[in-house]
């Protein structure tokens, strides 16, 4: 499926700007739960702007339109023994590339290979003035002009509507193996830090209910040797486990309570909070199911980022508050891209 | 490392560039005379850390791009963040431009002073504040040298991955401002992939903390926006970098080819086989002979091209990959493949590559280093065109190339004392950058735009994109006081440049092949 609807999208944005009509940007609508609730707005539908534009396996680069389904991209890469290095969660069959990048959605491999933002090489976007702009490109190194492509990642469409995105892709590892070790949280953190300081081919870690899971990826002999260093036992069907972590299929995530995503210093001590938690990224990502007051959770992540990932139910804010200075910069940047504030207004913060 | 070296100061060029700076910033209107400004500075900073006499200002007149020179108005050397905040506040109050400077090793004139501005040297910010081996981060001041971080982290078995060739001298603040790369980018990324937190001071004098303790911070990715922003958005006063465990083993292979095309195919075949080398470098015949003559690295002088392929990781992984890559190199037509037999030989193989620039400096009075990046598949085409142009412009070119990530460093050899050679060199260099854009690449992979490539930005970007850049700049610095005239050209400048380009409806060198 390949279809260029950029002109239609542009016309809709121009009309919205002229009439001061706020728009909500929608791709596959697989992640509507994420971000602040901005009520009913006119929809700017990006999903039909789709298709892989270029893919050169030996250049390690893929460019696709924002509405391209994530699973189509992953299938194409798989056929060439390659993958998206940031292992993005899809949260449904309809997930698109645009939404994945706009939210900087990155999976278990993130701490070891990089986040979505680390793999973005370039983009074409539609700003709030209805201008179609191209930044970056399809090369690995490019320092001409400000890095607007990466600025878009995680902006939830508030600075611009992604039209096309170029990504660096990676070869698939020859072999992957998952080990499981029974231990307590403190011990798990200690082990993850011990290994992280050594050259081991670790590509994912997860601690949940007294079990530490460690994925090793790479050349066959290297994985085998590392498995001996790590210890523990082989986890059969490791692939299924990591897919369930990534897609939040584990029972941990099956809840109506708020699910917090805490980005913290990796050696942060296990929370005193009573509620259940799941660790990833060598301890740098903590998922927490908790109905504690927001301030209590937010205050527990010194210089980190606590976000109500799911089930925020409109109470309190979703993302960690910005310092007054950073908020001012954010508002000025928003104006620089979207002077009338029509693109997903309020999706990140109430102020813009 | 100097990109243009030579005994002769290119006064003609310097005057030309000085005028450019002046043109670009004619809307800046300083409302204070120099002595009053210096008096005001003395209330903030000890007078010994303020330079304003002409003889004291000379050492700051250029960065690594020495063909562009400008004596600054005043040089200030603060030693605390508070002083930086107050100096910037004072500059904003009096509309005085500010150019931040680290070690001054940049290759694009990014730290070229402003004739009516403060040159803000961060040389006194030399402290490694904290290394946290457990979190694998180093919190450092901006004037800390790139290599010093890895040296300090070494005792923990850690290192800082980006390794620009100037890493002995260049500072981390400058690395962030330029988003510096190095020879290990394909596997380990650029500066932007290897930092976690920044502290910056805005032109208002406000201290902002960007990024955080975790891997992801709230809000927009200002860490990415600041990285590579060339001192246009704020002054970096602290950097927290990520450290990596040192690989268990690193091994390098040297492959010789009788045809550049075959070497290019080998690079693609290695990637296609699912191997990401830690470093993958190519040199052409002229570069090989200059480097060999200078560094005695054991390079084959009869080769048209050599590839240096470094593999790192665990012992087992390196062994497996060495076997795989060796067979790929041979089946791609290598006339010889040598694997370094020990660490000493590995360093010898690299010594030639790392000495390529000074080595070329020995065979020519001056050289001009380009920094375009292209999709790798375009390499044979681009090299062929550069060779054709080399004949037309009557200037030799040595090609050094980060083959893994498509970053070209053609070195144009010239003699500034021969009338017209510098101008021909600049014209030739400009054509190479435009060629990089035409084949889907970029004018700068790692050196930055600075003052040097400001005209080529008009080729890389159209009016709307440039306007968006200016809007971002205004979001941080509405008066345009930070590093004015650099990195992003005015629309007016591009209009003039475009007019010059299609002079009388004809491109320069219409007889040459274009694509």
Contact criterion met (CB < 8 Å) for B472 and A146: yes
Q: Which residues of A touch B220 (CB under 8 A)?
A: 151, 154-155, 159, 330, 333
Cross-chain CB nearest to A225 (options B133, B314, B407): B314
**Residue A267 tokens, joined:** 């050696």
Answer yes or no: are the C-beta atoms of B114 and B486 closer than 8 Å: no
A146-155, A246-255, A263-272, B187-196: which range is least confident on average?
Answer: A263-272
CB contact under 8 A, A58 and B220: no
Tell me which residue of A233, A236, A109 sits closest to A173, measured CA to CA: A109
Contact status of A172 with chain B (Cβ, < 8 Å) = yes
Measured in degrees and rounded to the nearest 5, phi and psi for residue A47 equal -60, -30
Q: Which residue of A has its CA nearest to B455?
A: A144
Contacts of A70 (CB under 8 A, 6+ apart): A88, A90, A95, A96, A97, A100
Fold assignment, A6-171+332-337: 3.30.465
Q: Is a pLDDT exceeding 70 seen at residue B510?
A: no
Q: If you compute the radius of gyration of chain A from its CA atoms, what whole number of angstroms results?
A: 21
pLDDT of residue B504: 41
CA nearest B244 in A: which residue?
A: A197
Q: Complex ipTM above 0.95?
A: yes
User: Which residues neighbour B491 within 8 Å (Cβ) at sequence distance 6 or greater?
Assistant: B463, B466, B467
B141 HSE (CA, 13 A, CB side):
18
Is B25's pLDDT higher than 70?
A: no
CB–CB contact B464 A349 (8 Å): no
Give the burial class of A14: count Cβ atoms within 10 A of its Cβ; 0-12 exposed, 13-18 middle, 19 or more buried.
middle
User: Could you tell me if A272 lies within 8 Å of chain B, comparing CB atoms?
Assistant: no
**Residue B220 C-beta-side C-alpha neighbours within 13 Å:** 26
Query: Which residue stretches of B4-125 are H helix?
Result: 11-24, 34-42, 54-57, 81-93
Nearest CA in chain B to A264: B214
pLDDT for residue B358 = 87
Q: Flag the least confident range among A93-97, A174-178, B162-166, B393-397.
A: B162-166
Q: Which residues are B282's β-sheet partners? A: B307, B401
Instruction: Look at the block and give the residue holding tokens 């620009």.
Output: B164
Considering only A202-216, B18-32, B214-228, which range has the smallest mean pLDDT?
B18-32
| Res. B390: pLDDT tops 70 | yes
**Cβ-contact A137, A122 below 8 angstroms:** yes
pLDDT in tens, A5-48: 999 999 999 999 999 999 999 999 999 999 999 989 999 999 99
Contact (CB<8Å) B274/A171 = yes
Of A339, A19, A319, residue with least CA distance to A159? A339
B 112-141 residues with CB < 8 A to A: 133-136
Residue spans of the domains in chain A: they are 6-171+332-337, 175-310
pLDDT in the model for residue B23: 43
- Among residues A127, A251, A147, the alpha carbon closest in space to that of B176 is found at A147
Q: Sign of dihedral through CA atoms A98, A102, A108, A112?
A: positive
Q: What is the 3-state secondary structure (H, E, C) of chain A?
A: CCECCHHHHHHHHHHHHHCCCCEEEECCCCCCCCCCCCCCCEEEECCCCECEEEEEHHHCEEEEECCCEHHHHHHHHHHCCEECCCCCCCCCCCCEHHHHHHCCCCCCCHHHHCCHHHHEEEEEEECCCCCEEEEECCCCCCCCCCCHHHHHCCCCCCCCEEEEEEEECEECCCEEEEEEEECCHHHHHHHHHHHHCCCCCEEEEEEECCEEEEEEEECHHHHHHHHHHHCCEECCCHHHHHHHHHCCCCHHHCCCCCEEEEECCCCCCCCCCCCEEEEEHHHCEEEEECCCCHHHHHHCCCCCEEEEEECCCCCCCCCCCCCHHHHHHHHHHHHHHCCCCCECCCCCCCCC
Per-residue confidence at B30, pLDDT binned at 50, 70, 90? confident
A 292-321 → B contacts, CB under 8 A: 301-305, 307, 319-321
Q: Does A137 sit within 8 Å of B442, measured CB to CB?
A: yes
Decide: pTM greater than 0.80: yes
A323 CB within 8 Å of a chain B CB: yes
**Which residues in chain A are contacts of B272 at CB distance < 8 A?**
57-58
Tens digit of pLDDT for each residue in B278-294?
999 999 999 999 999 99
**Where is B140: in which H helix or E strand?**
strand B137-140
- CB-CB contact of A46 with A86 (8 Å): no
Q: Read off the pLDDT of residues A255-287 as tens digits, 9 standing for 90 and up.
A: 999 999 999 999 999 876 656 899 999 999 999
- Residues of chain B found within 8 Å of residue A103, distances taken between Cβ atoms: none
Q: CB of A2 within 8 A of CB of A312?
A: no
By 3-state DSSP, what share of chain B in percent is helix, strand and coil, each rounded to 5?
A: 40, 20, 40
What integer pLDDT is reported at residue B12 of this predicted model?
A: 32
- Number of A to B CB contacts under 8 A, please give it: 266
The 10s digit of each residue's pLDDT in A196-239 is: 999 999 999 999 999 999 999 999 999 999 999 999 999 999 99
B397-436 pLDDT per residue, tens:
999 999 999 999 999 999 989 999 989 999 999 999 999 9
Neighboring chain A residues of B445 at a CB cutoff of 8 Å: 139-143
Task: Using an 8 Å CB-CB cutoff, list chain B residues near A224.
Answer: 316
Between positions 1 and 60 of A, the ones with CB within 8 A of B are 56-60
Q: Report yes or no: A194 at the B interface, CB cutoff 8 Å.
A: no
Residue A281: list chain B partners with CB under 8 A. Answer: 215
């Amino acid at each position: 499926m390949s279809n260029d609807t950029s002109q239609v999208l542009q016309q809709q944005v121009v009309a919205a700007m002229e009439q001061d009509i706020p728009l909500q940007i929608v791709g596959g609508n697989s992640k509507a739960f994420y971000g602040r609730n901005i009520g009913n707005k006119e929809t700017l539908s990006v999903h039909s702007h789709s298709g892989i534009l270029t893919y050169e396996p030996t250049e390690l680069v893929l460019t696709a339109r924002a509405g391209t389904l994530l699973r189509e991209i992953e299938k194409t890469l798989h056929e060439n023994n390659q993958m998206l290095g940031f292992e993005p969660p899809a949260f449904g069959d309809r997930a698109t590339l645009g939404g994945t990048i706009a939210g900087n959605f990155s999976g278990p491999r993130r701490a070891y290979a990089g986040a979505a933002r680390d793999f973005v090489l370039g983009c074409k976007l539609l700003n709030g003035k209805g201008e179609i702009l191209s930044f970056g490109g399809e090369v690995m190194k490019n320092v001409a002009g400000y890095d607007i492509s990466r600025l878009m990642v995680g902006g939830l469409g508030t600075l611009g509507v992604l039209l096309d995105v170029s990504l660096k892709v990676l070869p698939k590892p020859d072999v992957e193996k998952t080990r499981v070790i029974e231990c307590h949280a403190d011990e798990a953190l200690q082990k993850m830090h011990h290994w992280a300081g050594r050259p081991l081919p670790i590509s994912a870690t997860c601690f949940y209910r007294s079990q530490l899971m460690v994925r090793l990826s790479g050349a066959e002999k290297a994985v085998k040797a590392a498995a001996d260093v790590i210890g523990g036992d082989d986890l059969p069907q490791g692939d299924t486990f990591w897919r369930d972590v990534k897609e939040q299929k584990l029972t941990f995530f099956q809840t109506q309570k708020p699910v917090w995503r805490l980005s913290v210093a990796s050696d942060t001590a296990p929370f005193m909070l009573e509620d259940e938690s799941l660790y990833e990224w060598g301890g740098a990502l903590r998922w927490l199911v908790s109905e504690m007051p927001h301030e209590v959770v937010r205050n527990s992540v010194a210089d980190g980022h606590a976000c109500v990932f799911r089930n925020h139910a409109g109470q309190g804010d979703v993302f960690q508050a910005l310092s007054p200075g950073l908020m001012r910069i954010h508002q000025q940047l928003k104006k620089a891209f979207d002077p009338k504030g029509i693109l997903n207004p309020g999706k990140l913060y109430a102020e813009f | 490392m100097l990109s243009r070296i030579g005994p002769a100061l290119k006064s003609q060029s310097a005057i030309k560039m000085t005028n450019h700076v002046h043109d670009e910033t004619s809307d800046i209107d300083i409302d204070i005379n120099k002595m009053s400004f210096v008096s005001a500075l003395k209330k903030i900073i000890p007078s010994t850390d303020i330079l304003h006499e002409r003889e004291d200002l000379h050492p700051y007149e250029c960065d690594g791009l020495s063909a562009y020179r400008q004596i600054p108005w005043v040089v200030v050397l603060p030693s605390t963040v508070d002083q930086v905040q107050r100096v910037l506040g004072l500059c904003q109050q009096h509309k005085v431009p500010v150019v931040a400077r680290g070690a001054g090793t940049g290759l694009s004139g990014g730290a070229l002073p402003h004739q009516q501005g403060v040159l803000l040297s961060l040389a006194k910010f030399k402290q490694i504040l904290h290394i946290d081996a457990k979190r694998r981060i180093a919190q450092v001041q901006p004037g800390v040298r790139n290599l010093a971080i890895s040296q300090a982290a070494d005792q923990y078995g850690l290192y800082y991955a980006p390794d620009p060739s100037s890493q002995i001298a260049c500072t981390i603040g400058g690395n962030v401002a330029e988003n510096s790369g190095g020879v290990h980018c394909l596997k380990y990324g650029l500066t932007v992939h290897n930092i976690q937190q920044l502290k910056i001071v805005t032109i208002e004098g406000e201290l902002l903390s960007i990024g955080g303790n975790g891997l992801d911070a709230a809000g927009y990715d200002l860490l990415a926006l600041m990285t590579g922003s060339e001192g246009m958005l704020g002054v970096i006063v602290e950097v927290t970098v990520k450290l990596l465990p040192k690989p268990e083993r690193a091994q390098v292979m040297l492959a010789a080819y009788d045809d550049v095309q075959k070497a290019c195919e080998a690079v693609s075949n290695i990637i296609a086989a699912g191997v990401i080398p830690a470093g993958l470098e190519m040199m052409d015949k002229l570069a090989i002979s200059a480097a060999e003559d200078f560094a005695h690295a054991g390079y084959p002088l009869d080769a048209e091209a050599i590839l240096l392929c470094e593999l790192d990781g665990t012992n087992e992984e390196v062994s497996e990959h060495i076997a795989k890559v060796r067979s790929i190199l041979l089946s791609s037509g290598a006339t010889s493949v040598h694997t370094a037999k020990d660490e000493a030989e590995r360093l010898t193989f690299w010594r030639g590559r790392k000495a390529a620039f000074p080595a070329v400096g020995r065979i020519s009075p001056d050289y001009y280093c380009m920094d375009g990046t292209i999709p790798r598949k375009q390499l044979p085409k681009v090299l062929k065109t550069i060779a054709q142009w080399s004949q037309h412009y009557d200037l030799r070119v040595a090609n050094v190339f980060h083959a893994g990530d498509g970053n070209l460093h053609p070195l144009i050899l010239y003699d500034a004392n021969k009338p017209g050679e510098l101008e021909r060199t600049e014209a030739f260099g400009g054509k190479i950058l435009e060629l990089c854009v035409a084949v889907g690449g970029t004018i700068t992979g790692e050196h930055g735009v600075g003052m040097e490539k400001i005209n080529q930005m008009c080729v890389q970007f159209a009016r709307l994109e440039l306007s968006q850049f200016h809007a971002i700049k205004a979001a941080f610095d509405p008066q345009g006081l930070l590093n004015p005239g650099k990195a992003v050209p005015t629309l007016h400048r591009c209009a003039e440049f475009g007019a010059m380009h299609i002079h009388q409806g004809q491109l320069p060198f219409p007889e040459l092949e274009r694509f």
